[in-house]
Amino acid sequence: MSANPDFDLFRTNEDHEAIREAVRAVAEAKIKPFAAEVDEESRYPTEANQALIASDFHAAHVAEEHGGVGADALAVCIIIEEVARVCASSSLIPAVNKLGSMPVILGGSDEINARYMPRLAKGEGFSYGLSEREAGSDTAGMKCKATKDGDDWILGGQKAWITNAGESELYTVLAVTDPDGARGNNISAFVVEKSDEGFGFSEKERKLGIKGSPTRELHFDNCRIPGDRIVGAEGEGLKIALRTLDHTRVTIGAQAVGIAQGALDEALAYVKERKQFGKNIAEFQGIQFMLADMAMELEAARQMVYVAAAKSERHDADLSFFGAAAKCFASDVAMKVTTDAVQLLGGAGYTRDFPLERMMRDAKITQIYEGTNQVQRIVMARQLLKGLPTAR
């Protein structure tokens, strides 16, 4: 499907709804049956990965000229939302493939795009190496270095909290290339391949949620990469990285919406069947008010995400505000909706017999990664002080 920068802000088109229907079918048949097992065993969702690759939903944003399907930003959000509805860990496959490749798409040359985008389209994962243990929200404080050696670069240092590390074949890595340069303007971006000598991984982090998506450190020990693997110009890496986050924060909002929708679905099904005091608990007004609030906030979050996705597709000037707002609001809603859903099931919601405790654990990370919600509020405030978004 070709990108359409003019689609309606507030209405999905027939193509979007056809994609939703197709993804939902794949998710229900080939992803949901393994979701609890993936979480319980903290294992990579290979079934989901295979199903997403087979249906071209693993990296639908890749352009047709590179062997992809050329889905627009809203279509990608719908894919992530529908997968997250049944398994948040699996939804990180399309989400991280977009995150890892967006710096190359936004800032890379035609040559580097032609080299790596077809590989992503064929199923090789693409992760994103920005954060470090002491450089999370303070991205400009990173210590990982890339030193010029003839035409090559030598990478040294580590990256932390890298999603799908060890599973992905390709990595966009940010490193300091001018230690004496101006802070933030001395960082460059590179593509690193899993097979590169001197590149390795730590053991998996032991996490509260998204247990099926491995999170590891990246380690670089005199890792030599060719000079033509630089993304954009030397010193432009952090600018490209932050532009990337403007676009990909929207996908985390979509993931949060999907998790919340899945929780609401489960809660609705339960309250219609559960009986107390001789009638279904869905008949009690207190329960109905909870459901109404959950659905209302969820729909508000969904609309914010879809508007931000439209702005991402058009590269609007106020995308930074809307991307941050969509991610922040949707993730807060996901945390509230999943918590309320657990409450609606009472003691049953606290057990692993139902997926809600998993959804509640999975929802928490959406408030943290790709910039904490405190950072999102800083981003929004800075945009407001610049006069963005513009008055409607």
Is residue 370 part of the annotated active site? The answer reads: yes
* Helices marked H in the chain: 14-26, 32-41, 46-54, 73-84, 88-107, 110-121, 237-273, 285-314, 319-345, 356-365, 373-385
In angstroms, rounded to a whole number, what is the distance separating the alpha carbons of residues 303 and 202? 39
In angstroms, rounded to a whole number, what is the distance separating the alpha carbons of residues 213 and 42? 8
Please count the other Cβ atoms lying within 10 Å of the Cβ belonging to residue 280: 14
H-helix or E-strand containing 128? strand 126-129
Token couple for 46: 């290979």
H-helix or E-strand containing 172? strand 170-176
Token couple for 120: 């992503």
In angstroms, rounded to a whole number, what is the distance separating the alpha carbons of residues 241 and 189? 8
Token couple for 163: 């999603």
Beta bridge partners of 215: 163
Active-site annotation holder among 81, 217, 297, 370:
370
Q: Which residues are catalytic?
A: 370
